[in-house]
């Protein structure tokens, strides 16, 4: 009995301890939230005083760590010399590795750590961060301190960075669109005198593949763009706006904003028939659906002649380096820009920032100050790169393996078109890219992003069905005559119609709000 | 006749166990062979125990990064040594009193330890405490301390061992002979506990050696990367360069194109595991010896 009493008392003590700990936690939370308005007020007064003088401030900028940046401290010092003079702020660069990105950024945002600017994007949880209120809405800040950004990133492009009606990010200036087609080995195209100018549609490719099949029986005529992607999959974005997932899409990127089931369309059926034809003719290897090797590697090893690709100007030159043989591009679908192709990589201001104004001023510099952009992208002139006529390259004695600053992340930092062009690229590549972006067809639903939560269960069930059928159908390994109706049937059973109705509802609301 | 049957049984046993041993060893042999295979051979012929062309490309690629790899080795070895030693000390110093009947509140203490097995603070609060209260972010301590404080399981195993395998009369006789508590602990209890110390030491060593999660969330400074973090990072960067070639500059693509992706994965696994593999026999020696000495015989 006595023993029981002791253990009961012990339990009570523990409960008490727990209660104390819990209340301590919530106390801290209250403290945290009561601090925020104060910070906001302080920042507000800073803003008012802005004309007279800016207080020194340190901006913490989190970005994806790619490539080599051993000399980052030196570059940071040089960057600070510029920012100190222009906006009286210093910048603390916080590189975070790709593999650790999701974890660390989540923790930093949740833990209220010092963080002013962060890289984000459609693939980097931008939607969730914006919905959770971890990012600062940017309209007013852009109006006040971001005029140079507004000049370069046009309103209909900036819209892609919005979430529930507000803008939360600024897309970096880079390839905002892609065109779609096939990359082929040039040596073989020349060897068999293949006339690529006659190839206008994907159906015209049969003749080309037939020649390869006849003369190079060991070689696959066509393979997908990458491992675990199907042949058809990578050209689909050129035809439709997938509206986040491809459950309910806008064919032709317009369709008067009427959402349809892509898998039921004639267009989809005809694509599947085409790829089945290729598969039956032996153009596509039998084991393609389980392939894990990169397509460039397969071409390099002499196992494939061509692969599907989404491209941009100069793309074939770069791919040629990877495949080890010159590639020629057949561009079949014209360039297309969607919400996700623009909002891939952006900078956002974190809620943690105690001076969002200054963060926006720094962002503005990234879109207007060529010296700053080159410094961040390529390092210090003479030490990390050398100007060679119209282009730049490594100083003599330095190569990609020995470089001490070669981060390769120009596409992340503001306006890449302000930066130098690296040797090997067309010196005019930025102008070409700019024209390409401007020429791209923009989706009518640009800026819309689908919130999947109301139909989460259905979406998960649909995903299961897609995992079962999609890659087989889109590689031609499953016969569409037999399996496409079954696929559609199962999608319907999984709740596709409900998802489409929900998406249509959200899209209509979005359209009404954005009139 | 009986003899023949026994022989047959013996042979059968050997065959079965040989098969099991092969099943354990062969994948590892294949891993090592693949790491020495020429990349294009893998693409053409697939993985093979007897590749038609050998190559050291994968190791040469990693050798480029030797400064970082050696630094990461140093970090990992330091963390493993310090962590295992400190972890073992803390666990045994905590569990020994819990095993002694004279200790007041020992049940409550045991419950306290047990409680941490079932519940923990969750990732965000833990991160919050470590980074903002103790300011451990980007220090080597961040790799050691979280591992020390989550070994409630080890503490309980040790307590059970101390309670069941160290006879109380030994402790009593030692104290009659005039030994103090410290002397009893260090001269009598610990030597008798070698099996459990070796077992838990091994588990902690493996835990610290393979740990990459703490590095993932607490370390952003590349100078403090542990081996597992560094290898993970090298691989991801190489993959990134190859799959996003269109955003890279020309010099890097041509360097990136030479990376033998298939074989470096294997070479990394070899680099990551071999030192531990070499250390294991030494542990095993203690382990077996400890078991043989085991507690008190007679």
Q: Tell me: the pLDDT tens digits for A1-28?
A: 444 445 555 555 555 555 444 444 443 3
Pick the last residue of a domain from A337, A357, A373: A337
Residue A3 placed within a domain:
no
Look at A95 and B220 and tell me if their CB atoms are within 8 Å: yes
Is residue A308 located within the same domain as residue A411? Answer: no
Give tens-digit pLDDT for A474-504.
Answer: 999 999 999 999 999 999 999 999 999 999 9
Which range has the top average pLDDT, A112-121, A153-162, A247-256? A112-121
φ/ψ of residue A70, rounded to 5 = -60, -35
Question: Cβ contacts (< 8 Å) between B242 and chain A: which residues?
Answer: 294, 296, 322
- Our CA-based measurement puts residue B169 at a distance from the nearest CA of chain A, in whole angstroms, of 26
> How many folded domains does chain A comprise?
2
Q: Which domain holds residue A275?
A: 178-337
Q: What is the DSSP letter of A417?
A: G
Residue A107 placed within a domain:
yes
Domain residue spans of chain B: 2-35, 57-293
Place A60 in a pLDDT band, splitting at 50, 70 and 90.
very high
Residue A494 placed within a domain:
no
Is residue A77 located within the same domain as residue A202? Answer: no
Question: Cβ contacts (< 8 Å) between B249 and chain A: which residues?
Answer: 408, 422, 424-425
Question: Cβ contacts (< 8 Å) between B216 and chain A: which residues?
Answer: 99-100, 103-104
Neighbours of A323 (CB within 10 A): 22
Look at B247 and A104 and tell me if their CB atoms are within 8 Å: no
pLDDT on residue B222: 80
Cβ atoms of residues A259 and A248 within 8 Å: yes
Residue A452 placed within a domain:
no
Please list, in sequence order, all residues whose beta carbon lies within 8 angstroms of the beta carbon of residue A342, skipping any fewer than 6 positions away: A157, A160, A161, A171, A176, A446
Question: For residue B60, what is the nearest residue in chain A, using CA coordinates?
Answer: A401
Q: What is the DSSP letter of A226?
A: S
Residue A12 placed within a domain:
no
Residue A128 placed within a domain:
yes
Name the residue facing B220 among A94, A297, A425 (closest C-beta). Answer: A94
Is residue A203 located within the same domain as residue A151? Answer: no
pTM above 0.90, yes or no: no
Is residue A311 located within the same domain as residue A390? Answer: no
Is residue A353 located within the same domain as residue A329? Answer: no
Cβ atoms of residues B123 and B154 within 8 Å: no
How far apart, in whole angstroms, are the C-alpha atoms of residue A246 and residue A265?
Answer: 13
Is residue A129 located within the same domain as residue A77? Answer: yes
Is residue A101 located within the same domain as residue A118? Answer: yes
Beta strands in A363-449 (DSSP E): 386-388, 391-393, 405-406, 421-422, 441-442
Question: Cβ contacts (< 8 Å) between B240 and chain A: which residues?
Answer: 66, 98
pLDDT at A368 exceeding the cut of 90: yes
Of A510, A419, A418, A496, nearest to A459 by C-alpha is: A496
Residue A256 placed within a domain:
yes
Which residues partner with A392 through β-bridges? A387, A422
Pick the last residue of a domain from A291, A312, A337: A337
- Whether the CA torsion A293, A294, A298, A300 is positive or negative: it is negative
Give tens-digit pLDDT for A186-233.
Answer: 999 999 988 888 888 888 999 899 999 999 888 899 999 888 888 998
Can you read off the two tokens belonging to residue A309? Answer: 């690709």
Can you read off the two tokens belonging to residue B189? Answer: 């209890």
* DSSP H/E element including B72: helix B66-99
Look at B253 and A318 and tell me if their CB atoms are within 8 Å: yes
Residue A458 placed within a domain:
no
Cβ atoms of residues B291 and B192 within 8 Å: no
Name the residue facing A99 among B43, B125, B236 (closest C-beta). Answer: B236
* DSSP H/E element including A241: strand A240-241
pLDDT on residue B291: 52
Question: Cβ contacts (< 8 Å) between A317 and chain B: which residues?
Answer: 250
Is residue A155 located within the same domain as residue A244? Answer: no
Residue bearing tokens 């269109």? B246
* DSSP H/E element including A91: strand A89-97
Question: For residue B40, what is the nearest residue in chain A, using CA coordinates?
Answer: A301
Contact residues, chain B to chain A, C-beta under 8 Å: 40, 43-44, 64, 107-108, 111-112, 115, 123-125, 127-128, 131-132, 216-217, 220, 222, 229, 232-233, 236-237, 240-243, 245-257, 261-262
pLDDT at A297 exceeding the cut of 90: no
Question: Cβ contacts (< 8 Å) between A95 and chain B: which residues?
Answer: 220, 222
A interface test, pick of B212, B252, B262 with most A CB neighbours within 10 Å: B252
Look at B249 and A422 and tell me if their CB atoms are within 8 Å: yes
- Residue B293's SS3 state is helix
Name the residue facing B240 among A66, A300, A301 (closest C-beta). Answer: A66
Question: For residue B257, what is the nearest residue in chain A, using CA coordinates?
Answer: A322
Is residue A256 located within the same domain as residue A311? Answer: yes
Question: For residue A11, what is the nearest residue in chain B, using CA coordinates?
Answer: B108
- Our CA-based measurement puts residue B156 at a distance from the nearest CA of chain A, in whole angstroms, of 19
Share of chain A above pLDDT 70, in %: 90
Look at B249 and A317 and tell me if their CB atoms are within 8 Å: no
Cβ atoms of residues B59 and B274 within 8 Å: no
Residue bearing tokens 């763009």? A225
- 3-state SS, A130-159, equals HHCCCECCCHHHHHHHCHHHHHHCCHHHHH
Neighbours of B24 (CB within 10 A): 9
Is residue A226 located within the same domain as residue A197? Answer: yes
How far apart, in whole angstroms, are the C-alpha atoms of residue A206 and residue A209?
Answer: 5
Can you read off the two tokens belonging to residue B170? Answer: 């030994």
How far apart, in whole angstroms, are the C-alpha atoms of residue A113 and residue A488?
Answer: 48
B interface test, pick of A4, A63, A66, A426 with most B CB neighbours within 10 Å: A66
Successive 10-residue mean pLDDT values, chain B, 298 residues: 80 95 92 87 81 86 86 93 92 90 89 86 85 88 83 86 88 91 91 85 88 87 87 81 69 71 86 82 66 46
Neighbours of A39 (CB within 10 A): 14
Is residue A60 located within the same domain as residue A125? Answer: yes
Q: Mind giving me the DSSP string for A2-61?
A: HHHHHHHHHHHHHHHHHHHHHHHHHHHHHHHHHHHHHHHHHHHHHHHHTTT-PPPEEEEE
Can you read off the two tokens belonging to residue B238? Answer: 């190489």
CATH of the domain at A80: 3.40.190.10
pLDDT on residue A44: 39
Name the residue facing A66 among B43, B111, B237 (closest C-beta). Answer: B237
Of A290, A292, A294, A303, nearest to A322 by C-alpha is: A294
In this structure, whether the domain defined by B57-293 belongs to CATH 1.10.3720.10 is answered with yes
Of B100, B67, B291, nearest to B181 by C-alpha is: B100
Is residue A333 located within the same domain as residue A355? Answer: no
Pick the last residue of a domain from A317, A337, A357: A337
* DSSP H/E element including B265: helix B261-293
């Amino acid at each position: 009995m006595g023993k029981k009493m002791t253990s009961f008392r012990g339990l009570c003590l523990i409960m008490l301890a727990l209660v104390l700990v819990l209340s301590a936690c919530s106390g801290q939370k209250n403290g945290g939230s009561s601090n925020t308005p104060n910070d906001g007020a302080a920042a507000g007064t800073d803003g008012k005083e802005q004309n007279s003088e800016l207080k020194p401030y340190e901006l913490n900028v989190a970005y994806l760590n790619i490539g080599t940046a051993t000399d980052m401290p030196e570059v940071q010092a040089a960057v600070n010399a510029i920012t100190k003079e222009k906006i009286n702020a210093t910048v603390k660069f916080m590189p975070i590795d790709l593999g650790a990105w999701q974890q660390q950024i989540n923790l930093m945002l949740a833990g209220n750590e010092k963080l002013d600017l962060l890289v984000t994007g459609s693939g980097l949880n931008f939607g969730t961060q914006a919905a959770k209120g971890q990012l600062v809405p940017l309209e007013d800040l852009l109006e006040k301190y971001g005029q140079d950004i507004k000049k370069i990133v046009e309103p209909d492009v900036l819209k892609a960075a919005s979430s529930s009606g507000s803008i939360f990010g600024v897309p970096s200036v880079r390839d905002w669109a892609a065109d779609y087609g096939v990359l082929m080995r040039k040596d073989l195209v020349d060897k068999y005198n293949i006339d690529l100018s006659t190839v206008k549609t994907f159906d015209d490719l049969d003749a080309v593949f037939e020649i390869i099949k006849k003369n190079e029986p060991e070689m696959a005529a066509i393979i997908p763009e990458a491992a675990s992607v199907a042949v058809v999959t990578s050209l689909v974005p050129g035809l439709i706006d997938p509206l986040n997932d491809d459950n309910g899409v806008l064919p032709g990127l317009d369709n008067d904003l009427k959402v349809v089931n892509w898998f039921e369309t004639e267009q989809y059926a005809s694509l599947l028939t085409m790829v089945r034809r290729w598969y039956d003719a032996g153009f596509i290897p039998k084991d393609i659906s389980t392939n894990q090797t990169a397509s460039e590697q397969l071409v390099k090893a002499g196992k494939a002649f061509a692969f599907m690709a989404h491209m941009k100007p100069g793309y074939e030159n770069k791919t040629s380096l990877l495949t080890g043989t010159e590639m020629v591009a057949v561009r079949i679908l014209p360039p297309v820009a969607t919400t996700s192709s623009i909002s891939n990589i952006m900078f956002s201001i974190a809620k943690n920032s105690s001076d969002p104004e200054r963060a926006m001023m720094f962002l503005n510099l990234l879109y207007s100050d060529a010296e700053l952009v080159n410094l961040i992208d390529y390092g210090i002139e003479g030490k990390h790169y050398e100007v060679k006529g119209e282009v730049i390259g490594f100083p003599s004695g330095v190569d990609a393996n020995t470089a001490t600053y070669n981060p390769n992340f120009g596409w992340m930092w503001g306006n890449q078109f302000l930066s130098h062009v690296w040797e090997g690229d067309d010196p005019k590549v930025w102008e070409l890219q700019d024209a390409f972006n401007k020429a791209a067809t923009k989706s009518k639903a640009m800026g819309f992003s689908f919130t999947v939560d109301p139909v989460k269960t259905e979406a998960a069930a649909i995903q299961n069905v897609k995992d079962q059928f999609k890659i087989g159908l889109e590689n031609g390994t499953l016969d569409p005559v037999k399996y496409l109706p079954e696929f559609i049937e199962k999608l319907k059973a999984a709740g596709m119609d409900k998802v489409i109705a929900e998406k249509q509802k959200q899209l209509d609301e979005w359209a009404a709000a954005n009139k | 006749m009986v003899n023949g049957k026994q022989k047959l049984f013996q042979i059968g046993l050997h065959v079965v166990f040989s098969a099991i041993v092969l099943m354990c060893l062969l994948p590892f042999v294949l891993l090592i062979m693949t790491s020495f295979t020429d990349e294009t051979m893998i693409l053409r012929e697939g993985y093979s125990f007897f590749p038609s062309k050998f190559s050291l490309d994968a190791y040469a690629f990693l050798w480029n990064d030797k400064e970082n790899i050696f630094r990461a080795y140093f970090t990992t070895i330091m963390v493993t040594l310090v962590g295992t030693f400190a972890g073992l000390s803390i666990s045994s110093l905590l569990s020994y009193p819990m095993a002694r009947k004279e200790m007041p509140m020992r049940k409550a203490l045991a419950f306290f330890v047990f409680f941490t097995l079932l519940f923990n603070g969750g990732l965000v609060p833990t991160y919050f405490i470590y980074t903002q209260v103790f300011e451990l972010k980007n220090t080597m301590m961040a790799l050691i301390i979280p591992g020390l404080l989550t070994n409630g399981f080890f503490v309980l195993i040790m307590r059970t061992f101390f309670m069941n395998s160290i006879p109380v009369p030994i402790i009593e006789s030692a104290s009659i002979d005039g030994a103090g508590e410290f002397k009893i602990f260090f001269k009598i209890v610990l030597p008798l506990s070698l099996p459990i110390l070796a077992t838990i030491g091994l588990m902690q060593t493996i835990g610290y050696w393979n740990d990459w999660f703490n590095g993932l969330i607490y370390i952003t400074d590349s100078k403090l990367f542990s081996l597992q973090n560094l290898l993970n990072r090298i691989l991801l960067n190489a993959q990134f360069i190859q799959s996003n070639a269109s955003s890279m500059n020309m010099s890097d693509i041509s360097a990136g194109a030479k990376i033998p992706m298939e074989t470096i994965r294997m070479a990394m696994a070899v680099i990551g595991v071999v030192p531990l593999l070499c250390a294991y026999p030494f542990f095993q020696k203690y382990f077996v010896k400890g078991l043989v000495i085991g507690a008190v015989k007679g």
